[in-house]
C-alpha cells in the first residue's frame, strides 16, 4: 500500500501545534510543560508508552480476557490518557486514512448522497479523523457534510474524542461533520445496535474485534444481522485490527465466516473489496503460523519522533490488518475500476516485501489461486501491498514465476 505524498506529509509541525494547543486546552498537559520537554516526556509519557505497548502487543494471548480498563488502571490516569492520545491515536488515525487512500487509488467513488458514519469503540475518534484525513488528501468524493455516531464505553475518552474530532475536522478546512456520542458497552446478546437505531452508510471498527470474547464463527452472523438492519445499500464497512498473528488470523477467520454465512443465507449483497481482490479461500489460513498484514510509512510528527527516540521504539512504519466490505449489487470491477485492466484470475497483490534474487525480485502474492511465492524480473521497485494486473503465474505455490509484463499498481 502506497499512500499519496500529501497524506504522508500531513502530520508535521502544523499537526503538532494543533495537538499541542488541544491538549493544553483540555488540561491534559500542564501549562508550564510542552511537547519539546525531554524531561517531562521521559517522566510522564514514556513509561506509559512502554506499558501500553506491552498491553497492545500480546500475540499469544486473548486480549479480550487480559485487557484491563487501562484508563483507570493507573496511579495517574490523566498521564495514561495523555500518552494514548499523543502516541497511539495519530498512528491509528494515519492507518485508517491509508485504507481510505487505498480505496481512492483503485478508483472507488462514494455513491450515497449522504455520509452517515458510526464508529464502535471510538476511543479518541481516530477512525473518524482517519476518514477525514483520507478524504482531505485522497478523496473518494464523499459529501463535505456528514453526521457521525461515536460509541465508547469509557466516558472520559469518549468526551475527549468528540472534542478532538470537532477540532481536527474543522482544522482540515473543507469538512462540516457533526457527531453524537453514545456512552455504552455493547451487549452482543442484544445485537450491536437497537432495532430502533438509524441506518448508516459507513461502519467503522478499529482495534475493536480483538477485544471481543467471541469466535469469528459466532461473530459473523451477528455482524451480518446488524448490517442487514443498519447499513444502507452501497454502504461500506471498514475493520482494522493489529498486525499480530493471533489478531490478524481472527480477522481472516471472520472474513471466511462472513462468506460462509452469506452463502448459507443464499445472499450475495456483501462484497469483500480490500485487501483481497476476490472471495477466494484465504491463502494465509492454510498454515497455522501464517497471517496477513499491511504496512504503511509516514513522516511522523516531530514530537512522536522524539518520543520514539526516548522510548527506543520506531513508528516510522505502521503495520495493521484490515478488511473493507461493501454492501452492494455492483461488481467489484465497477466499484474499483482500476482492476478492470485484467481478469480476476490475473490479479495478484504482494503480501510480503520484495527482495532481490539474482536479476529477479522475489515475494509472496495472493490471488484467486491462493498464496504463492513468486519471482518477477522488473526494473520497477515494488513493495508489500502493490497489485500486479495481467499477472499470469507459472509454477506451484512454492516457486512460481510471473509471466509477461504485468501492470503494477503502486
Positions in the chain whose pLDDT score sits under 70: 56-76
Which domains can be identified in the chain, with CATH numbers?
5-338 (3.40.50.150), 342-409 (2.40.50.140)
For residue 10, the 8-state DSSP code is T
**Among residues 155, 138, 320, which one has the least CA distance to residue 238?**
320
**Cα–Cα distance measured from residue 213 to residue 170, given in angstroms and rounded to the nearest whole number:** 37
Contact (CB, 8 A) for 179 and 147: yes
Enclosing H/E stretch for 233: strand 231-241
Q: Which residues of 173-306 form beta strands (DSSP E)?
A: 176-183, 200-206, 231-241, 270-274, 294-297
Q: What's the confidence (pLDDT) of residue 80?
A: 86
Q: What's the confidence (pLDDT) of residue 55?
A: 72
**Cα–Cα distance measured from residue 227 to residue 258, given in angstroms and rounded to the nearest whole number:** 12
pLDDT tens sequence across 328-378: 999 999 999 999 988 888 999 999 999 999 889 999 999 988 899 999 998
Backbone angles phi, psi at 399, to 5 degrees: -155, 90
37: CB partners within 8 A, 6+ apart = none
Q: What's the confidence (pLDDT) of residue 370?
A: 87
Enclosing H/E stretch for 297: strand 294-297
Q: What's the confidence (pLDDT) of residue 403?
A: 86
Amino acid at each position: 500500500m502506497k499512500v499519496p505524498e500529501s497524506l504522508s506529509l500531513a502530520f508535521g509541525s502544523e499537526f503538532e501545534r494543533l495537538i499541542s494547543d488541544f491538549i493544553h486546552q483540555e488540561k491534559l498537559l500542564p501549562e508550564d510543560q510542552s511537547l519539546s520537554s525531554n524531561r517531562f516526556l521521559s517522566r510522564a509519557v514514556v513509561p506509559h508508552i512502554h506499558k501500553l505497548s506491552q498491553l497492545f502487543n500480546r500475540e499469544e494471548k486473548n486480549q479480550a480476557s487480559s485487557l484491563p480498563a487501562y484508563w483507570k488502571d493507573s496511579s495517574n490516569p490523566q498521564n495514561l490518557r495523555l500518552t494514548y492520545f499523543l502516541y497511539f491515536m495519530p498512528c491509528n488515525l494515519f492507518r485508517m486514512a491509508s485504507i481510505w487512500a487505498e480505496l481512492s487509488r483503485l478508483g472507488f467513488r462514494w455513491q450515497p448522497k449522504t455520509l452517515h458514519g458510526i464508529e464502535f469503540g471510538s476511543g479518541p475518534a481516530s477512525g473518524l479523523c482517519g476518514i477525514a484525513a483520507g478524504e482531505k488528501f485522497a478523496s473518494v468524493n464523499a459529501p463535505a457534510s456528514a453526521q457521525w455516531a461515536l460509541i465508547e464505553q469509557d466516558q472520559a475518552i469518549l468526551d475527549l474524542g468528540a472534542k478532538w474530532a470537532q477540532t481536527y475536522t474543522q482544522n482540515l478546512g473543507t469538512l462540516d461533520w457533526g457527531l453524537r456520542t453514545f456512552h455504552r458497552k455493547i451487549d452482543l446478546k442484544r445485537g450491536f445496535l437497537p432495532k430502533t437505531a438509524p441506518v448508516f452508510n459507513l461502519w467503522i471498527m478499529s482495534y475493536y474485534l480483538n477485544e471481543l470474547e467471541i469466535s469469528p464463527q459466532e461473530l459473523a452472523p451477528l455482524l451480518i444481522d446488524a448490517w442487514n438492519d443498519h447499513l444502507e445499500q452501497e454502504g461500506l464497512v471498514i475493520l482494522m485490527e493489529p498486525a499480530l498473528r493471533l489478531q490478524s488470523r481472527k480477522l481472516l477467520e471472520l472474513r471466511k465466516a462472513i462468506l460462509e454465512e452469506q452463502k448459507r443465507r443464499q445472499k450475495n449483497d456483501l462484497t469483500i473489496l480490500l485487501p483481497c481482490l476476490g472471495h477466494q479461500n484465504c491463502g494465509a489460513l492454510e498454515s497455522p503460523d501464517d497471517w496477513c498484514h499491511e504496512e504503511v510509512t509516514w513522516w511522523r510528527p516531530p514530537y512522536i519522533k522524539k518520543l520514539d527516540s526516548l522510548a527506543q521504539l520506531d513508528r516510522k512504519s505502521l503495520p495493521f490488518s484490515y478488511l473493507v466490505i461493501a454492501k452492494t449489487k455492483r461488481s467489484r470491477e465497477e466499484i474499483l475500476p482500476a482492476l478492470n485492466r485484467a481478469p480476476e484470475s490475473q490479479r495478484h497483490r504482494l503480501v510480503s516485501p520484495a527482495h532481490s534474487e539474482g536479476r529477479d525480485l522475489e515475494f509472496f502474492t495472493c490471488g484467486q489461486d491462493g498464496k504463492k511465492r513468486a519471482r518477477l524480473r522488473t526494473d520497477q521497485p515494488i513493495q508489500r501491498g502493490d497489485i500486479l494486473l495481467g499477472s499470469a503465474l507459472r509454477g506451484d505455490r512454492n516457486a512460481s514465476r510471473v509471466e509477461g509484463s504485468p501492470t503494477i499498481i503502486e
